[in-house]
Structure 1
Amino acid sequence: MENKRPPFLINFIIRAILGMGLIFFANQFLDYRNIPVSVGLNLLSFLTSGTLGIPGVGLLYGIMFYKIM
């Protein structure tokens, strides 16, 4: 009997890595456009993007846009 990893853990890791990549490229794009919004690449953004996926990344940027208003 094999000890398989739970599918939710693999799903979490994939979402987190894709979310961090999206944050990186969104930060680059916003910097290129001279828009002063940047989400940090840290443990909190990793956990948020891993738990909530793309909507979590949108939430992080929404918070940052709200902060500069």
Structure 2
Amino acid sequence: MEALYLLVPLSIVVVFAAIWIFFAASDNGQFDDLVGPGMRILQDDDRPAAASEADDAKKGDGEKA
């Protein structure tokens, strides 16, 4: 029974912390674009890595993105 004196207030604090984290993430725009990252993974880049490095060298960048 004494455990309830600890667990009930602790669970209330955890619930309020979870709600605060959710609303903080929502205010910071964490959930603005839920579809974009899922669509971005479907875009296929067929160029091999060596060809993309050669193209970068031809452009004169010298730096890799």
TM-score, with structure 2 as normaliser: 0.43
Larger Rg, first or second structure (1 or 2): 2
Structure scoring higher RCO (CA < 8 A, sep ≥ 6) equals: 1
Q: Per residue, is there more helix in 1 or in 2?
A: 1
